[in-house]
A and B are shown apart, each in its own frame.
Chain A
């Protein structure tokens, strides 16, 4: 598909191009910055996981016997804040996207390498604020910071947490800005928009949300700070303000933010399904445009979080219909992925196992979203465990499965090493089973009426809660196993070679790990990234 020259075999890789802390902390290489992000988000993932473990432990019994209610409030708040702002939002774009977009489009780096490094430092500063909040008393507003509780009543570290999230937001904006400019201006000769890998399309759509949505939550946080510090009345009914305005502004970002988390995963899945069925993705153009459609419609549905918040019934109906519409591009993706697999020679590698898991779990997450988009149904389900289960099916069953899928797919490219096939497949199955055991019972709990965010519940709900807590421990194990064998593989894994999966994308045409400059000579692209029909069938494990 391309006439690029292979880099000479003895060329230094990005990992050996300079040693020592300074060569990492002052790097402008997108691949090293991706690794810095990978380490940081993994750190926050396990911290967020610890909070989740405390929640599930408390909920194993109906009585509030492990944590006091105040402490429990802090646990679910910190779990949400850490997982959303410091893991899920940066997860795929800042690690896999950062690492892979330049080689996928035949570029040597992102358009603004220093801004890329700056974005990591900004992320770290935001993270330090959040860690400060954790060790000095925590935050109890829920990750949503609803007013007037956050502005007037909460006695926890609201300001410090808000500053941390405000700062981390700029890291997300800079990543998005860098991606948009890079994808527009840095593509190799011959690489037209409709030859781009679908992963690049997905990250492009994500970047659009990052640059348009994040500033709005930033200014919302400024308003909360003004309100909390100066008591102007913006969200205070006593002074004529309206707490619901906060919900509008907050969800104008935070609903699209859901798509910041899921769209990159969808991009990953498109690549992996294609590679392991040895086929061009069915309906390439539809998948590409469905990413953009999700980004656009994602901005028009925030009101479905306000169905019971005094929003007018008319507005509720409009937002309900618009929310249904988002299901169309999502379904286009699911149908196209399954059509790609249909009659393909499917290879059940580890990334593919995660990808197939993604399709199933995302479908459940998406379809239960339709329950919640339905006005009447939502009145019954609002603020119950049904909602919790729904968004965990999308965020964990979708986004994190996609992230793990991509991490396993490109790990050989990033590190040059293979991980143990058997262990990784076992872990994928454990994650899938543990996940379902954790969150499926929560659908039932929510339907039966158990509200979210309470640490005490009636005894008749205990069976489902115990199932959920048991599942959480299995899920936790499922996440620890990959951590162990991926670390192990860095030293003991067998060398992967440039293209262990027999994939056709540009990033697989360069050595693993890639040299600092990615390409010796800028490649000239003559076709799209999925020319499997021209390729011999390659046996892969």
Chain B
């Protein structure tokens, strides 16, 4: 029943070549993603180096508990995604794949929900750069004008990451619909594998973002 999806595209010699091309293509794409995020990491490093106190004070304003929860949620979603790929490769029924994909989708959505809550808190506490930027209880002696840089980069980096999460959620929905129709088999489940690579990549970006943004010095200014 799944034969329509397993068809070899006309310009490939054999399924192996097709599979290898997709896989290499995805890795090359992820390489471009690393460079894309890299520009922002560069800006972050430059300004953290220049204004360590402002960055530590800004970082202390983040909610480490929520950030830690989100980290665990994302690592969990990587596990369920890996299980989805593994079930597809091992020839488990498409229903099993769907279950793991839905779990991944759920965890991804939880992440975005928590992120939205954090953004909302920042908004309430006037920690969004712009005309109303004046964080409450700012530690004395720390230059507040440079804090705008920290929060700007916080929103830029996590926003870019969240955008990738939203795209990932869309891709998961696509996979769930396809798997629901029984599209994947051990011989052909390239889309599941490719989305899996993408999902893990986005998780890894968070693994870098979390310590860089949340854990500079969580108790700064509260001694």
Q: Which residues of A contact B (CB under 8 A)?
A: 107-113, 115, 173, 177-178, 180-182, 184-186, 211-216, 218-220, 222-223, 226, 230-234, 238-242, 245, 248-249, 517, 522
Contacts and interface: CB of A to CB of B under 8 A. Distances in A.
Contacts of B148: 232-233, 239-240
Contact of B32 (A111, A112, A212, A231): A212
B32 A211 contact: yes
Contact of B36 (A216, A238, A242): A216
Contacts of B47: 234, 240-241
A215 B28 CA distance: 12
A219 B149 contact: no
A213 B156 CA distance: 20
Nearest to B27: A181
A241 B149 contact: yes
14 contacts: A109-B10, A111-B21, A111-B25, A177-B29, A181-B21, A186-B21, A212-B35, A215-B38, A219-B36, A223-B43, A223-B156, A231-B130, A234-B153, A242-B46
B65 to A, nearest CB: 26
Minimum-distance CB pairs A-B, first 6: A232-B152, A219-B39, A215-B36, A109-B11, A240-B146, A215-B35
A110 B130 CA distance: 47
B29 to A, nearest CB: 6
Interface of B: 9-11, 13, 17, 20-21, 24-25, 28-29, 31-33, 35-40, 42-43, 46-47, 50-51, 54, 129-130, 143, 145-146, 148-149, 151-153, 156, 160
B31 A233 contact: no
Contacts of A184: 24
A249 B31 CA distance: 17
Query: Which of B9, B11, B156, B160 gathers the greatest number of chain A CB atoms within 10 Å?
Result: B11
Given A185-B17, A231-B130, A245-B43, A216 B38 contact: yes
A185 B13 CA distance: 10
Nearest to A188: B13
A240 B145 contact: yes
A500 B64 CA distance: 70
B25 A113 contact: no
A419 B153 CA distance: 56
A232 B28 contact: no
Nearest to B17: A185
Contacts of A186: 11, 17, 21
B12 to A, nearest CB: 8
Nearest to A229: B130
Contact of A108 (B11, B37, B42, B152): B11
Contacts of A223: 39-40, 43, 156
Given A219-B39, A232-B148, A234-B152, A211 B31 contact: yes
Contacts of B24: 180-181, 184-185
Contacts of B32: 173, 177, 211-212, 214-215
Contact of B129 (A112, A180, A182, A231): A231
Contacts of B43: 223, 234, 245, 249
Contacts of B25: 111-112, 115, 177-178, 181
A411 B130 CA distance: 55
B20 to A, nearest CB: 5
Query: Which of B9, B31, B35 gathers the greatest number of chain A CB atoms within 10 Å?
Result: B35
A230 B39 contact: no
Contacts of B39: 215-216, 218-220, 222-223, 249
A249 B21 contact: no
B36 A240 contact: no
B129 A230 contact: yes
Nearest to B25: A181
A453 to B, nearest CB: 27
Query: Which of B25, B37, B160 gathers the greatest number of chain A CB atoms within 10 Å?
Result: B25
B7 to A, nearest CB: 14
B121 to A, nearest CB: 18
Nearest to A115: B25
A249 B42 CA distance: 9
A222 B160 contact: yes
Nearest to A102: B11
B28 A239 contact: no
Given A215-B39, A219-B39, A185 B21 contact: yes
B46 A245 contact: yes
A211 B27 CA distance: 11
A214 B152 CA distance: 23
A20 B162 CA distance: 43
A220 B41 CA distance: 11
Nearest to B33: A215
Contact of B11 (A113, A173, A220, A232): A113
B146 A185 contact: no
B191 to A, nearest CB: 14
A522 B13 CA distance: 9
Nearest to A111: B21
A230 B146 CA distance: 15
A234 B150 CA distance: 9
A232 B128 CA distance: 9
Contacts of B149: 232-234, 239-241
A54 to B, nearest CB: 34
A107 B12 CA distance: 8
Contacts of B156: 222-223, 226, 232
B152 A233 contact: yes
A107 B17 CA distance: 12
Contact of A181 (B28, B36, B40, B143): B28
Given A111-B11, A219-B38, A240-B148, 13 more contacts: A108-B11, A112-B21, A113-B11, A177-B25, A216-B38, A218-B36, A219-B39, A219-B40, A233-B129, A233-B145, A234-B152, A249-B43, A517-B10
A218 B21 CA distance: 25
A219 B160 CA distance: 10
Contacts of B40: 219, 222-223
A521 to B, nearest CB: 11
Nearest to A113: B11
Nearest to B34: A215
Contacts of A219: 36-40, 160
A78 B211 CA distance: 43
A219 B145 CA distance: 24
Query: Which of A180, A181, A212, A248 gathers the greatest number of chain B CB atoms within 10 Å?
Result: A181
B177 to A, nearest CB: 19
Contact of A240 (B20, B50, B151): B50
Contacts of B50: 240, 242
